[in-house]
Amino acid sequence: MKNWLNQHTLALDLVLQRLKNHWLNTLIICMVIGITVTLPGLLFVALDNLQDMSGAIKQDAQISVFFKPATSSNLIQRLINDTQGLPQVKEVRYVSKEDAIEQLSQQFSQKNLLVDLPQNPLPDAVFITLTDTQPATVKPVQTLLQTRPEVDEIVIDSVWIERLHSMLLLGKRIAFIFASLLGIAMITVISNTVRMQVLTHEAEIEVSRLIGATHSFIRRPFLYMGGAYGLGGGLIAVVLLFAIVWNLRQPVQLLANNYQSHFQLAFHLVHVGGLILLCTTAIGWIAAFIALTQKK
Q: What is the pLDDT of residue 278?
A: 93
Going along the chain from its start, the domains and CATH numbers come out as 2-57+162-294 (no CATH), 62-156 (3.30.70.3040)
pLDDT at residue 57, as a whole number: 57
16: region left, alpha or beta (phi > 0 left; psi from -120 to 50 alpha): alpha
pLDDT in tens for each of the 296 residues of the chain? Answer: 666 676 667 667 777 787 788 788 888 989 999 998 998 888 888 888 877 776 555 555 678 889 888 888 888 888 888 888 888 888 888 888 777 777 766 665 555 555 556 666 778 888 988 877 666 777 888 888 888 888 888 888 666 666 777 788 888 888 889 888 888 988 988 888 888 888 887 777 777 777 766 777 778 888 888 889 999 999 999 999 999 999 988 888 888 777 666 778 888 878 888 889 999 999 999 998 988 886 44
* Predicted pLDDT of residue 25: 86
Pairing of strands 151-156, 62-67: antiparallel
pLDDT on residue 16:
77
- pLDDT computed for residue 87 by the predictor: 85
- Per the CB < 8 A criterion, the answer to whether 233 and 32 are in contact is yes
Q: What gap in Å lies between CA 158 and CA 135, rounded to an integer?
A: 9
Distance separating alpha carbons of residues 254 and 267, to the nearest angstrom: 18
Per-residue pLDDT tens for 177-196?
Answer: 988 888 898 898 888 888 88
Task: Provide the pLDDT for residue 189.
Answer: 87
Per-residue confidence (pLDDT) for residue 55, from 0 to 100 = 59
Distance CA(30)–CA(26), nearest Å, equals 6
